[in-house]
């Protein structure tokens, strides 16, 4: 089946620094990738949608300048949390899909970010 990887699985960074999370589709070309944020015991909150080679579309309330998304190829998207603060600590999940049709989203295993 389709596999999506995320790296790193867990990262700790200091307040004020930036951290990059990678999302890769390993065995298929993803026309669209999604970034979610999940707080403990809560549902997934969509942050942004990115298509290869174009700018990401951010959901309302998500700061574009804080959460930089780059979808450089059909197999790689990155999320950079800039000037991280403790309130950015969360679980970040990416997913990838092939646009159109009944295609499902394939989810990565997630990245736990802790900002100290």
Q: Which residues bind other proteins (CB under 8 A)?
A: 32, 34, 38, 41-44, 46, 49, 91, 93, 95, 97, 99-100, 102, 104-105, 107, 109-110
Min CB(83)–other proteins separation in Å: 26
Task: Supply φ then ψ for residue 82, to 5 degrees.
Answer: -95, 145
Min CB(107)–other proteins separation in Å: 4
Min CB(79)–other proteins separation in Å: 17
According to DSSP, the β-strands at 4-7 and 57-58 are unpaired
Q: Which two tokens stand for residue 7?
A: 């790296």
User: What is the spatial distance between Cα 37 and Cα 109, in angstroms, rounded to a whole number?
Assistant: 12
């Amino acid at each position: 089946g389709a596999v999506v990887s995320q790296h790193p699985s867990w990262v700790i960074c200091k307040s004020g620094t930036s951290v990059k999370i990678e999302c890769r589709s390993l065995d298929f070309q993803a026309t669209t990738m999604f970034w979610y944020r999940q707080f403990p015991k809560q549902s997934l909150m969509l942050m942004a949608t990115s298509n290869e080679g174009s700018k990401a579309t951010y959901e309302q309330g998500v700061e574009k300048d804080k959460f930089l998304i780059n979808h450089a190829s059909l197999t790689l998207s990155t999320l950079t949390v800039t000037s991280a603060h403790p309130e950015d600590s969360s679980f970040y999940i990416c997913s990838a899909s092939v646009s159109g049709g009944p295609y499902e989203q394939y989810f990565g295993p997630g990245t736990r970010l802790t900002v100290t």
